Structure 1
Amino acid sequence: MPRLRVPWAVACFVWACGVGCGDLDPLCPSWGLCRAPLALNASPPWQGCGETWWGAAGLSLWGLSSDSLIDSFPIDPIQENYVRNVRNCIFSVVYPTPFKSKVLLVAVSEDVIENILDLHISVQGTSDFLQFVSGGKVIFGSVPLAHRYGGHQFGSWAGQLGDGRAHLIGVYTNRHGERWELQLKGSGKTPYSRNGDGRAVLRSSVREFLCSEAMHYLGIPTSRAASLVVSDDEVWRDQFYNGNIKKERGAIVLRLAKSWFRIGSLEILAHSGELDLQRRLLDFIIQEHFPLIAVNDSDRYLEFFSTVVSETANLIALWMSVGFAHGVCNTDNFSLLSITIDYGPFGFMDSYDPNFVPNTSDDEGRYKIGNQANVGLFNLNKLLQALKPLLDPRQKQLASQVLEGYGQHYYTRFTELFRAKLGLLGDDENDNYLIGFLLKLMEDRRADFTMTFRELSEITEDQLKELHIPEEFWALQDLGKHKLFSEWVSMYLLRLEHNKGDTDVKRRKRMTEKLGYSEYSFQIRRTPSLGRFSANQHHIYPHTSERILWHWRQTKQEKDFPSRTTLLLLVSALVAD
């Protein structure tokens, strides 16, 4: 069995099976019917109408509910599903559109299923689960909602946007007391679909599933993915925005977040003058997600803004520490909880390049990786503009001062993260220079971002002192061709001498653990209907139906894997031709 060593702990269990389902008619056509609480051992009100309910080993008493959202906000009074401008509400009730063809369960995250949703992993083998995660069955307690929001896209106000292909199917509070909002992506049209078809394709869905789970295990705040299903429904996409439209397969991801509210959620209300509703939404967010802020505090919105500023700076610094470029940093894609959401044309930087742009439609490079911190400041300023109608003059002045401190928050966290990547202990006034010096060398040589730090965590100080770089450290060998490399090494070794109580062995172990390097084996189980994947840069192209089992197991294999920080290239390496 082949084994690969990968530069992150992707501790998810990805399972593909060929479970089919029959007719996928929505379970409950009247959303009001679902509002009644389910008593212990009670039958759902629609049972006996020919629909199958969750069995005793399934989700018969699962606590999914939309009540907290529906009871807290006005709901769009128009129940017909057509594209329109919506006002004076936060959500529209709209049901997912089931696929017309057979649906296959492609992947599940065992951690999400068992440790967030409190379900047994065996539930994945039931047809009811398949129908639920594919939008074909609305379970008791769930009222599917599409969220109304706006946003600034590529620097300009875009007006009403909203969930154009996503349905928030309920809120679940698990045994740990964590509140999670479940959302289907690719589940059909909503009043916010604009010119879209409401669908997602397998290619982009695989990317979101894998990356959101990988980011979690890298320690970066993110939404999670529970499952991925694929159909044979035809979806047409212009993948590279060059006029070449191709047929792809429709897919749906069940994804979770503590909240899906974003900066654009507040912007649309401020732009529409719906200040009472904006205040109501803010109070809800603070009460549910910011426990350190008192809901009756007159400065609660100021404290909320201050928290979002510091946490957004932290998030973007974390992105930079792993070479992650989001690709579409619009205000409608920036979470108010400062987590990574809406994985679209993202990418992981391979060669270090501050101008790396993963989004082929970003012609001007607005969202290049080196500009993400600046874009974060732009987005936070738009959040402040949305909040200003609710602030008094004193609070506005203080909020502006808070925003001015964003840069310091970011650079402080950035330095902390890269100091750890270099195995440095304590603070030194020259650390910023040392880090910047290294990054400049890497930029000049287009050094591999991940492998440079990885090999620094493995090479000994004696080898560095002698500038003896073993052949297997290919990234450092290339970097060593820079005329200033020896000067940087001297500075680095001098700084390591200031690590009190440290040894070279401890340094290397600490760096390896901090960088998240673990060894994993993989195996692929093929079936007669196995398709194949091929990779091109940051894209995966599905060709035929896939039934693949990726089972990552921790091992002690020491064989090196020749980098490429793009997660999807790693996955494609497992299943490529």
Structure 2
Amino acid sequence: MKLQIQNSFTAELPADPNQINVPRQVHQACYSYTLPKKPSNPSLIHASTEVANAIGLSQEDILSADFLNTFSGSTIYPSTKPYALSYAGHQFGNWAGQLGDGRAINLTEVVHENKSYTLQLKGAGPTPYSRTADGFAVLRSSIREHLCAEAMHYLGVPTTRSLSLMLSGDQVLRDVIYNGNPAYEKGAIVCRVAPSFIRFGSFELFASREDHVNLKLLADFTIKHHFSHIKKEGVEKYLAFFQEVTQTTLNMIVHWQRVGFVHGVMNTDNMSIHGVTIDYGPYGWLEDYNSTWTPNTTDSQHKRYRFGNQPEIALWNLYQLANALYPLIQDAKPLETILNAYSTNYEKEYLNMMKNKLGFQIKKEQDVVLIQSLTQLLERVETDMTIFFRNLSNVTKADTALTAFNAIKDAFYSEKDLDKTILEDWHDWFEMYSIRINEEAISDFVRKEQMDQVNPKYVLRNYMAQLCIDNADKGDYALLNELFEMLKNPYDEQPNSQKWFAKRPDWARNKVGCSMLSCSS
């Protein structure tokens, strides 16, 4: 196994001079050198061949002892020195101070085909940023991260990737929903892959400590290596950087809303400067369309990170990044201009996304009303988001309102809830929808084809992940392999996978892991 190593982050940015691996405050450093803890009996459960190929590895490499040892943390790859990142953040709207990689250790950077990647082990042991935690991860949460990161990629959602999922051979103590009943679970390690793991909180840490020297070093490094197309200098360079982070973050949120993904814990330390989904913890997928739903038990009271609030939280987080970058710019007005444009730009991008979901190409002023009335209708009774939008493409221009309604009625969890008033409102909506699609020049066939490319048939529903976890706990990984392969083609019909195109089963409605998840998930 041969990787093309590049250690620019550790070569160009300041290290923590203290190499004692105990929880502590780390000052004037971007990272701390930290070795993974050797697992007792590592074994490979699954690896993504596509991610392996992206970093220059083959299928043969995946099956090698070197792969197992390197990506389980058993051995350190030659010419590398693993490290944990230092950063801070706002958690649930409150300043938390220094946080850092508490259960993640960056192995190295690699280059392949002129692209740079950082390889990071999640769950490989404690770091100086672990605080009161042990730095390990369990099979349950590791399966969720491995499957979802790759599922999101194939959905077209910006995301970190997952190279491998391994068992450590060790037991890890966890309290699944923080109810005072901890239990031992199988330990596991995921290798995450991203351009870098620099976060909003990376800049917040230095700004909060008024360490403007290292704040500038980090910003200059980030732009040089990850935004090298920015050719401006001085203040304009940092503004261009912030503008791009704002736009890519906005794009990511629009994709989340498109597929019904709820991150669950959008703290500023969980926001990537690359505008990619990072840190798959208590995430979830909308089953019924419910803008107030959050999967995170920690957020169950205030629902700060609920589905419908994700666009606003992204903006709030961008404000915190702007505050962190302000010392490099010394002028609030251009930052405010970028931030003020976010809401307008988001509404425009959201409208375009929803028009695509509904099969509209031409611009019509009434589309805003049609979309708003639809989302209100979807919330009146439990309506499966994925099934509704996927089946909507089966509606034709010739259909009556009743025929069109029948095309999507499988999306309702209980037809008994559809009283006369709601049925009339749906009838009225489909009357408007019929008029609207008849204004389009494209054929029913083309419209369906286009809609089916933005409305997935298969997503990683919460109960599917839990079934996979339950089987894996018994050493059965067949379902994991099946789901992984299916989720690589989420927009295809895949007749052999039709059973997964179904509403959430009743047993999963309130089951831990399916509807309720904690930050240990």
TM-score, normalising length: structure 2: 0.89
- The match for 2:427 is 486
2:61 maps to 1:118: no
Structure 1 CA distance, aligned partners of 2:267 and 2:469? 21
Contact 2:105 2:121 in 1 (8 A): yes
- The match for 1:107 is 46
Contact 1:143 1:169 in 2 (8 A): yes
> Is the alpha carbon distance of 1:117 and 1:417 closer, same or farther for their aligned partners in structure 2, counting shifts above 3 Å?
same
Match of 1:416 among 352, 363, 368: 352
Structure 2 CA distance, aligned partners of 1:291 and 1:304? 10
| Structure 1 residues 519-558: aligned runs within 5 Å | 542-548=472-478, 550=481, 552=485, 558=495
Shift of 1:333: 0.2
2:82 maps to 1:157: no
For structure 2, list consecutive stretches of 5 or more residues without a partner in the other structure.
Answer: 515-521
> Is the alpha carbon distance of 1:338 and 1:421 closer, same or farther for their aligned partners in structure 2, counting shifts above 3 Å?
same
Structure 2 CA distance, aligned partners of 1:459 and 1:416? 20
Shift of 1:257: 0.5
Q: Which has the larger radius of gyration?
A: 1
Structure 2 CA distance, aligned partners of 1:539 and 1:119? 28
Note the alpha carbon deviations across 1:345-372, whole angstroms, 9 max, x for none. 0000000111111011113211111111
> Is the alpha carbon distance of 1:197 and 1:557 closer, same or farther for their aligned partners in structure 2, counting shifts above 3 Å?
closer
> Is the alpha carbon distance of 1:194 and 1:489 closer, same or farther for their aligned partners in structure 2, counting shifts above 3 Å?
same
- The match for 1:286 is 223
For structure 1, list consecutive stretches of 5 or more residues without a partner in the other structure.
Answer: 1-57, 520-532
- The match for 1:63 is 4
Shift of 1:468: 5.7
2:295 maps to 1:358: yes
Deviates more, 1:465-474 or 1:439-448: 465-474
Instruction: Give SS of 1:421's match.
Output: helix
Opposite residue 238 of structure 1, the aligned amino acid is D
Deviates more, 1:455-464 or 1:345-354: 455-464
Structure 2 CA distance, aligned partners of 1:174 and 1:427? 42
Residue correspondences, number = 490
- The match for 2:337 is 401
| Structure 1 residues 146-545: aligned runs within 5 Å | 146-175=84-113, 177-294=114-231, 296-362=233-299, 363-393=301-331, 396-467=332-403, 469-470=405-406, 473-475=409-411, 478=415, 482=422, 483-500=424-441, 502-517=442-457, 542-545=472-475
Note the alpha carbon deviations across 1:327-384, whole angstroms, 9 max, x for none. 0000000111111000000000000111111011113211111111111111011111
Shift of 1:281: 0.5
> Is the alpha carbon distance of 1:311 and 1:468 closer, same or farther for their aligned partners in structure 2, counting shifts above 3 Å?
closer
Shift of 1:174: 0.8
Opposite residue 412 of structure 1, the aligned amino acid is K
Structure 2 CA distance, aligned partners of 1:198 and 1:439? 41
Contact 2:245 2:275 in 1 (8 A): yes
Opposite residue 416 of structure 1, the aligned amino acid is N
Match of 2:17 among 77, 82, 103: 77
Shift of 1:110: 1.0
Structure 2 CA distance, aligned partners of 1:383 and 1:92? 23
Note the alpha carbon deviations across 1:512-531, whole angstroms, 9 max, x for none. 12324489xxxxxxxxxxxx
Match of 1:91 among 27, 31, 41: 31
Determine which structure has greater relative contact order: mean sequence separation of CA pairs < 8 Å that are 6+ residues apart, divided by chain length: 1
> Is the alpha carbon distance of 1:108 and 1:247 closer, same or farther for their aligned partners in structure 2, counting shifts above 3 Å?
same
| Structure 1 residues 45-56: aligned runs within 5 Å | none
- The match for 2:518 is none
Note the alpha carbon deviations across 1:203-238, whole angstroms, 9 max, x for none. 000000000000000101100000000133111111
Structure 1 CA distance, aligned partners of 2:471 and 2:137? 14
Structure 1 CA distance, aligned partners of 2:429 and 2:372? 10
- The match for 1:563 is 502
Deviates more, 1:278-287 or 1:537-546: 537-546
Instruction: Give SS of 1:461's match.
Output: coil
Contact 1:318 1:414 in 2 (8 A): no
Structure 2 CA distance, aligned partners of 1:197 and 1:75? 22
Structure 2 CA distance, aligned partners of 1:315 and 1:133? 28
> Is the alpha carbon distance of 1:556 and 1:242 closer, same or farther for their aligned partners in structure 2, counting shifts above 3 Å?
closer
TM-score, normalising length: structure 1: 0.80
Opposite residue 504 of structure 1, the aligned amino acid is D
Shift of 1:385: 1.0
Structure 2 CA distance, aligned partners of 1:97 and 1:518? 37
Match of 1:143 among 43, 60, 81: 81
